[in-house]
Structure 1
Amino acid sequence: MTSHDVVAQARRALSVRKVGHAGTLDPMATGLLVLGVGTATRLLGYVGGHDKTYEATIRLGQSTVTDDREGEVLSATAAAHLDDDAVRSALAAQTGPLQQVPSAVSAVKVDGRRSYDRVRAGETVELAARSVTVHRLEVHRVTRPTPDLVDVDVTVDCTAGTYIRAIARDAGAALGVGGHLTALRRTASGPFTVAQAGVVEDAAASLVAGGGAGFLPLTEAARVVFPERRLTTEEARALGYGQRIPATGSGGLHAAVAPDGRLAALVEDAGSTARVTVGFPPP
């Protein structure tokens, strides 16, 4: 399923239109997708930029049009001569700060159109490199499904915007045999993990029931992502009118929580006061 498919399922399950997602998943990918429903969609833009964790299988010995298993094979070069140390070394080089060129078949926009739409229309697309950071790339297993192919199971911790497909492509290119992804699963997005998640219909049922797998109330979700700023009744009222309140005293966004436990706003210090960045009016 695409991220759009998941949102459509959630809309049907909940009979609501206002559903969004944070952090797009490739169609071949599985795992965690964070959704926001109703007012919670206002939180999504501040959630998707967190670090991500993926489990993936990289195949060395073939390159594809899409840098994953769904694309046509462009070239095949026997990887039989590669020992495990060479494979691990090439993947270790894909850690730290990187200048990474996204796959041409990606959602990156070029002059207002998705790159993959341009490629499918027969255009040749060259995307600019972007700065990403791979914090950790752990190799769990190296296997050889055929004499000429090498499969590598890895876990990757990285910044938002990192393409795991590009890691497979670039490691394969460095080894001279080509590479692509055969499996990809997102297991964490910022503080949210796949262990907390549920399939769409179950998560929707949990929301309706007010608790259960796959559902976090808005205030709880904000507390997980941001430091909490406890409000007085007067401060909560002031934020409701768009007014400023005394500064929190530390940088960055804070979840401003009213005395009744309701998320009133995301606030950020601006000098001696804190101002509303995103408001969450009472229902």
Structure 2
Amino acid sequence: MSRIDAKFAELRAAGRKAFVAYVMGGDPDYETSLQIVKGMPAAGVDVIELGVPFTDPMADGPTIQLAGQRALAGGQTLRKTLDMVRALREEDDTTPVVLMGYYNPIYSLGVDNFLAAATEAGVDGLIIVDLPPEEDDELCIPAQKAGLNFVRLATPTTDDKRLPKVLENTSGFVYYVSITGITGAAVAQATEVGPEVARIKAATDLPVIVGFGIKTPEAAEAIASVADGSVVGSAIVEKIASGQSVPDVLAFVESLAAGAHRA
């Protein structure tokens, strides 16, 4: 059982929904980013999504793109992002960490080298937004063999014909993208998300977590009420971008987590 499976089993047993938080590794700099990541479990974060900066982030809106640019300008790399996970594991061996990003940095490092380094560092799962199911042999299957969950995105355009293919090799949880388009661009609506989550849950036993367009504790609660949990990324990254202190960023994260946990 992976850390992700164990966390969702624990949440299910407690009758609680999950709160998943995203930050870009190395934004605004390595040390500040690491402090935020280390503070997340105490702030109520159930799963940490750690972004790997990339020069051409096609699925990301301006907020996440700028975070990636700041991280890259500060010298952040895939290996340094793994170092952050390793540092977290020195004091937290239970909170799941999912790396989120694009295939190019992994391809450049080499899949075997990456998987060995990721498992050694304590990574639990991967969300690679530009690898469709048709390319599962590239990374998804090797990652699963290495003991990492491969989390797949489903979207409003994932119809009933496409859904089985998307779910085929997915593990850990399904990440439902509540809106079409790029990150941070619109506001998620629980009335629209609920039926889509139900449709996906009818096809899989995996938890379905909803992200994109969730910016407030109230929205985190509303979305979690119709899913197995909610994800917030851009709204947290905006706090970091505005220069807020680590305690202030974590206080905002804690308010979002409390919202999701009320659901």
What's the TM-score once normalised by structure 1's chain length?
A: 0.26
More strand by share: 1
Bigger radius of gyration among the two: 1
Task: For CA contacts below 8 A with separation 6 or more, give which structure has more relative contact order.
Answer: 2
What's the TM-score once normalised by structure 2's chain length?
A: 0.27
More helix by share: 2
